[in-house]
Amino acid sequence: MAECELFVSFDLFPWFREAAIGRLVDVAMPHPGHLHWPQLDVDLAVDSIEHPERYPLVSNPPPHVAESTAKRSQRAPAPPRPRRPARA
């Protein structure tokens, strides 16, 4: 695994959405085909990342992640910036 990178979708793996980069890169491979993020308490089979269609059940993210995601989606859009007056 050291020679490849895997893409992990936040939609399919919501535990990673609000994680700090330092926590995301702290990953171990305790045995072949198994990844563990100790700071996030997440364990995944490599096969579930490479072939998510084979694993249709997605666990709910921890409550603090679900709450912050819900709050972000409820925010009102930012007001438009004021325009500068035209120079004469």
Domain limits at 16? 1-63
Query: 12-65 pLDDT, tens per residue?
Result: 888 899 999 999 999 999 999 999 999 999 999 999 999 988 887 766 555 655
Whole-model pTM? 0.60
pLDDT digits (tens, 9 = 90+) for 77-87: 666 666 666 66
Q: Give me the sign of the Cα torsion angle 54, 15, 1, 34.
A: negative
In a domain, residue 81? The reply is: no
If one counts the domains in the chain, the total is 1
Within a domain: 56? yes
Backbone angles phi, psi at 3, to 5 degrees: -95, 5
Side by side, which strands form the sheet with 42-45?
Answer: 28-31, 34-37, 42-45
Is 84 inside any structural domain?
Answer: no
* Distance separating alpha carbons of residues 72 and 6, to the nearest angstrom: 27
